[in-house]
Amino acid sequence: MPDVSDDAETTRRARRDLVRRGYDQISEKYRSDDSAAGRETESTAEYAQWLGELAVHLPAGGSVLDLGCGAGVPGSRLLAEWGFEVTGVDISAVQIRRARNLVPAARFVQADVVEWECDPGTFDAIVSLYTLIHIPLEDQQSLLPKLANWLKPGGYLLVIIGHTAWTGTEDYLGAEMFWDHADAETTLGWITDMGFMPVWQRFIPEGSSGHTLVLAQR
**Cα four-point dihedral sign 36, 41, 46, 51:** negative
CA distance 49 to 31: 18
Q: What percent of the chain has pLDDT over 90?
A: 89
Question: Are 207 and 160 in contact, with CB atoms under 8 Å apart?
Answer: no
pLDDT band at 136 (very low <50, low <70, confident <90, very high): very high
3-state secondary structure (DSSP) of residue 113: coil
Tens of pLDDT, residue by residue over 119-134, are: 999 999 999 999 999 9
Does residue 40 have a pLDDT over 70?
Answer: no
Stretch 212-218: mean pLDDT, rounded?
98
The predicted pLDDT at position 36 comes to 52
Instruction: Quote the crossing angle between the two packed helices 93-102 and 4-30, to the nearest 10°.
Output: 40
Rg (CA), the chain: 16
Is residue 43's pLDDT more than 80?
A: no
The model's pLDDT over 156-211, given as tens digits with 9 standing for 90+, comes to 999 999 999 999 999 999 999 999 999 999 999 999 999 999 999 999 998 888 99
Which residue has better confidence, 45 or 214? 214
